[in-house]
Amino acid sequence: MATLVSELDLPLLEGQRVTPSTELPQDHWLARNPFGYAVWHYDDVTAILRDKRWHSAAGRIPELMGVTDEQFLSRQRVSILSAEGDVHLRLRRLVAPAFSPRQADRLRPFMREVINGLVDNVAAAGRADFAVDICEPYPIPIICELLGAPKSDWQLFSRWANDILEIFSIDMAQKLDLIVRTQDELDAYTRELIAERRSKPADDLLTDLIAAEEEGDKLTTDELVMMVNAVIVGGTDTTRNQLGCAVGLLAEHPDQWALLAERPELAQRAVEETMRYFGAVRGTARFASTDIEYKDIVFPAGTFMSVGIAEANRDRAVFNEPEVFDITSSKGDQPQLTFGSGIHYCLGQALARAELQEALPLLARRMPNLRLDGPTEWKPEGVGIFGPAHMPITFDPGH
Ligand code: HEM
């Protein structure tokens, strides 16, 4: 007989999320937290992310943060990040080819150009705020290039991305006006760009998305606008913070930084290992769309579940010596989970991997002897994405 989850005697976790500072009970796989429940073992995390009855909580975050504006809430719910079932399947099918590894590879030379340009600004001084000088600006020109937006609009995109990303901040309820105004501006801009591309196709993501078709089915203009929004929300802050986490970690392992400069072919493994050991997405959340029975426990419809990705990435049952950071040796057969799992598995993973694989060895070569130059200031571990706000570094100048 399955037991109702509320009848179990479970430990209580303090934060609404499982974070590295959370004290996890060793003798449990499930705990209570202020919003509902939490899991953090690799097998439970993947089981829940792959079970379609557990729906994305992305569209529910504003509600949980106290937002009541119905127009705002309904706009969030139509995003691919929060769509479910057939609606989600159709969107994924239509847009997947535009996000293939081959499409991401086309941008690799441009990625190197952007990183080189950013290092050029600081190379002579041999010091920088890595978070501000390199991480912040890196993803924006790439997203612009990907979408086919003109270079002259980079600054505009940067501001829009920052303002829309306030949606993940702790005090997002107070920033609603700004978020809505920015989403409106971006919507208007995107509609114009779409109209332009419809009459004059180009070699970019937007043209691919306009042309995307399966058995006569196509994306509507509203869906195209939503996808551009999802690419900006999903593709900028994640990548810049992951780069900051990776370099902060490598700065504490100078031998591995030097090795990466010598052996750029280690880039792929370095990206997977830095994302396993120190991912910028620490966790995500789901809610039960119906009553769900799992491991003889019933989770009633509506149950909220925090999913501890960072903890799962250190699970001893899956990874060899998970507490040891090593870009040269395999940790096992299972993938790291910082891109998620299941139907919402990161759509931009090929692009993000390419961006990090291009950046890391190039930075290691041009910033030899990289060291932290004072304390790193980390962003708060709230509902959002984790990474450095400021990271002063020094390195041997002139490379
Ligand atoms: C290192 C960088 C990145 C990380 C760590 C990351 C992480 C994630 C994670 C964990 C999810 C799943 C969330 C969940 O299941 O609740 C996700 C979904 C998504 N990501 Fe990424 N992401 C990154 C870069 C990107 C980029 C560059 C793009 C776009 C170009 C992107 C677009 C998306 C989209 C559209 C989704 C929603 C997919 C869906 O719901 O079907 N991401 N990402």
- Ligand 1 mutation pick, 249, 347, 353, 386, max ligand atoms within 8 A of CB: 347
Angle at 293 between CA 292 and CA 294, to 5 degrees: 115
Residue nearest ligand 1's atom 41 by CA = 344
Q: What is the reported pLDDT for 256?
A: 98
Contact status, residue 132 vs residue 121, Cβ threshold 8 Å = no
Q: Which residues of 212-243 are buried (b: 16+ CB within 10 A; e: fewer)?
A: beeeeeebeeebbbbbbbbbbbbbbbbbbbbb
**Strand 36-39 relative to strand 30-33, pairing:** antiparallel
Residue nearest ligand 1's atom 18 by CA = 346
Q: What is the reported pLDDT for 35?
A: 85
The pTM of the full predicted model, rounded to 2 decimals, is 0.94
Ordered domains of the chain (ranges, CATH): 3-394 (1.10.630.10)
Distance separating alpha carbons of residues 358 and 352, to the nearest angstrom? 10
Give backbone dihedrals phi and psi of 104, rounded to 5 degrees, phi first.
Answer: -65, -40
Residue nearest ligand 1's atom 39 by CA = 344
Pocket of ligand 1 (CB under 6 A): 56, 58, 80-81, 92, 230-231, 234-235, 238-239, 242, 280-281, 284, 338-340, 344, 346-348, 351-352
- Total length of the chain: 399
Question: Which residues in the chain come in under a pLDDT of 70?
Answer: 15-23, 76-77, 382-384
Q: What is the reported pLDDT for 15?
A: 63
Name the residue among 332, 302, 336, 298 with its Cα closest to residue 318.
Answer: 332
Contact status, residue 205 vs residue 146, Cβ threshold 8 Å = yes
Q: Which two tokens stand for residue 101?
A: 């590894």
242 CA closest ligand 1 atom index: 1
What is the helix (H) or strand (E) element at residue 277, kind and residue range? helix 267-277
Distance separating alpha carbons of residues 306 and 396, to the nearest angstrom? 43
Q: Residue 235 C-alpha to ligand 1 middle, in angstroms?
A: 7
Q: What is the reported pLDDT for 17?
A: 56
